[in-house]
Structure 1
Amino acid sequence: MNVQSEVVKVYKVKQNLILFAAIILLFSFPVKSEAHPGGKDELGGHFRKADCVYLLHDPTELAKKASNMTELIQLIKTINSNSTCTSGLNEGKVDLEGYSFSSQNTNAGQIEAGKQTTTVNATQSTSNELKLGEKYSAELVKCVDGDTAHFNINGQVYKTRFLYIDTPESTNKVEPFGKEASAFACNFLKSDKITLETDGPSLFDKYDRLLAWIWVGDQLFQEEITKVGFVKKFYDYGDYLYEDRIISAMADAKKLSKGMYAPQEEVSADEKNIKQPINTEDLEKEVNTLPIEEKVSDNKKDESSGQNEAPESKSSSGNAIIGILAIISLIYFFRKKKKRS
């Protein structure tokens, strides 16, 4: 028992030493503050991991000190530690998300046909306030994905969420058919004149995005993208004018196996692991055709390999016996030392 307690004490001392050393190592490394994609920096924004676009979600007082885009970009490069994204940062890779500079200088990407424009949201009063149940001529400023885009209406840019449809993601995360939905939307929106039609219980959603039906020429965009199978579900927060048309388009897409509703040919894991049956007759033929010398040599190899197994097992058992004797010797040594003390 005395020897065992001594061993336990030694083990605990070693444990404490290892823990202490680990703590010292932990605090010896410098800690660097880095704005992780998705976590806001001191300016109130962050870089989107997918494409290194800087999103200014919640401008802080520090961000508001910038009077134009050039000054803001300089602040981002100074404050944000994401060197991969800051190295290639330019005006086209900054999304103000509705924020405007106090000096009225705006992003060059928001200047269309020589007119100065300002991105607006639900909290900003405008001289040309939109109303529910109305149609507005619009110009495409920026295509985001399959169900979101920026439109210019009478000199003001609105980040717009397309009513009633929900397409696979292709920005913050990439879902199956997300890129296809985004490509379809961007190409379709450029094909003809655009008209936005407001509808439902509210003009804007909780993210300050304008909610609207999108007409391209005389075609309803939401209906067309649903027909080709790039709409995964609907969001229904009220009564909308064209719900029945979208539901019917979804039924057609599923019936005709369009887009994401096409059958996916996948080989199951069980099928991949199926082994081909062994033809014993062919195997016997191959063996019988071998020269006699090769058969004899193969038999000798088998015999010699069988003979070599015994010494290995003997060696293993011998090592085990030596280990046990060593442990017994250590126990005897510690007991004897204890008695002398």
Structure 2
Amino acid sequence: MTRKTSIITIIITFILMSILPFQAWAHNGSRDELGGHFRSADCVYLLHEPTELAKSATNISELITLIKKHNSNSCASELTESKVDLEGYTFSKMAVDSTSTSTNNLLELGKTYDATLEKCTDGDTATFSINGTSYKTRFLYIDTPESTNQQEPYGKEASDFSCSVLQNGQITIETDGPSLFDKYDRLLAWVFVDGKLHQEEITKAGLVEDFYDYGTYKYETRIEAAMLEAKAGGVGLYSENKEAENIQENATKEVVAPTHSEKNDASKEENLTQGHRIESKQNSGSSALGIFAIATVLLFFMFPRFSRKRGIEPLLIHKMWTKNLWVNALLLIPIYTALFFLVLVLLLVEVIRLIKLKAQE
């Protein structure tokens, strides 16, 4: 290459570099869900290719709100209208018109809004229209059985309960907690129907199986009290627990309380025992009477003179008493002695029988 050619090449390169600005193309970077990104040099947001999410904004204020929500860059917190480069994109409505209406569309935490039901999904999810905007809403704090992706016990009952109530009443929603939306972009809110807190009513019906607690919520204690009421009443999900308690209670009563036949058996046994007692008393009386009779006979046989003093004639055997010694001896040995021991044996038998009766009593 000649010297002249080299000089011409250098001049052309210099001219081209002078004409084309260094910043003619902005680096796209890693785009967010709206189709844009922040330029690190000056924190300007560049909207390269607006997505459907970005197009849902009707003005610059709504777009900034979406950017702050869906972009985690540190520049998002200080973003203003002057630092948004739409790169030729225009909103579907006039900025002046949209500013007056869209301000009402933006929800705030701790506020109450009138709502209209658009779609009932299940026991704890529905879509509401609030200020002209649709919001898929997750009912705060409660978790009902599934009835959409899978069918859980009492899932259909929970869905039918919510849909029936929401379709037949004036709906008001109240935002609460640390954030407006969950990770699935669902609005988090308390739902009131005709002035009644829906979460509390469906919990009382026994159609709430659990709570989710990702923060501190305004009506937590009311929902927990409703849960205790549902469990105590044994309604909905907790009816099986109530039936189990009733079965256990009835079983306990059967064990503790005697049956009618057992009562009859006990009564019969008591009557028999009482009869034995009466019989024992009668036997005791007859025993005492027998002993008294034996003692009387003994007195008559052994103490005839004692009987004469009372004006009672002695028995025949005493009349046989004579002054002859040998006759008396004959009477004493075979007759008196035999009678004495006979009476003694009878007396012992009666005493033993009396002791046994006392022991049985």
TM-score, normalized by length of structure 1?
0.42
Q: Looking at CA atoms only, which structure, 1 or 2, has the larger radius of gyration?
A: 2
Q: Calculate the TM-score normalised by the size of structure 2.
A: 0.40
Bigger fraction of residues in helix: 2
Name the structure, 1 or 2, with higher relative contact order (CA <8 Å, separation 6+): 1
